[in-house]
Structure 1
Amino acid sequence: MASTDLKKQKIFCTTSEAAEILSISVGTVQLWVDTGLLEAWKTPGGHRRITRGSINCMLHHKPAAVATEAAVVSSGGALRVLVAEDDADLRLLYQTILRHWPMGPVLEVVDNGIDALMVIERFRPDLLFIDLDIPGVDGFQMLKILNSKAEHAGMTAVVVTGLSRADIALRGGVPDNFLVLPKPISFEKLLSIASALWELKAHRAGRTAA
Structure 2
Amino acid sequence: MRKSATNADVLSTREAAERLGVALRTVQLWVEGGVLPAWKTAGGHRRISRAAVEKLIAERTSALHGADEAPSPTESDERRMRILVVEDDPDLLRLFCMVIEGWDMAVELSTATNGFEALLRIGDRCPDLLLTDLNMPGMDGFRMIDTLKKHQQEREQLRIVVVTALGPAEIAHRGGLPEGVKVFTKPLPFDELETLAREQFARLAAPELQ
Using the size of structure 1 for normalisation, the TM-score is 0.85
Aligned positions of 1:141-152 closer than 5 A: 141-149=143-151, 150-152=153-155
User: How well do the aligned residues superpose, as a CA RMSD in angstroms?
Assistant: 2.4
Aligned positions of 1:86-165 closer than 5 A: 86-149=88-151, 150-165=153-168
User: What SS does the corresponding residue of 1:61 show, helix, strand or coil?
Assistant: helix
Range with greater deviation from structure 2 (158-167 or 23-32): 23-32
Aligned equivalent of 1:82: 84
Q: 1:88 to 1:181 in 2, by over 3 A?
A: same
Q: CA offsets, 1:57-80, max 9 Å, x none?
A: 433431234868843624522111
Q: CA offsets, 1:65-117, max 9 Å, x none?
A: 48688436245221111111111001111111111101131111111212211
Whichever structure has more helix as a proportion of its residues is 1
Range with greater deviation from structure 2 (149-158 or 30-39): 30-39
Aligned equivalent of 1:71: 71
Aligned equivalent of 2:57: 59
1: CA distance, partners of 2:80 / 2:38: 38
Pairing partner for 2:174 from 158, 171, 175:
171
Identity of aligned residues (%): 39
Aligned equivalent of 1:21: 19
Q: CA offsets, 1:138-162, max 9 Å, x none?
A: 1111111111111111111100111
Q: Which amino acid aligns with 2:13?
A: T
Range with greater deviation from structure 2 (32-41 or 116-125): 32-41
Q: 1:176 to 1:44 in 2, by over 3 A?
A: closer
Range with greater deviation from structure 2 (25-34 or 100-109): 25-34
Q: 1:49 to 1:180 in 2, by over 3 A?
A: same
2: CA distance, partners of 1:193 / 1:145: 23
Gaps of 5+ in 1: none
Equivalent pairs, count: 204
1:128–1:155 contact (8 Å) kept in structure 2:
yes
Gaps of 5+ in 2: none
User: What SS does the corresponding residue of 2:84 show, helix, strand or coil?
Assistant: strand
2:33–2:144 contact (8 Å) kept in structure 1:
no
Using the size of structure 2 for normalisation, the TM-score is 0.85
2:30–2:120 contact (8 Å) kept in structure 1:
no
1: CA distance, partners of 2:111 / 2:135: 15
Range with greater deviation from structure 2 (70-79 or 131-140): 70-79
1:68–1:122 contact (8 Å) kept in structure 2:
no
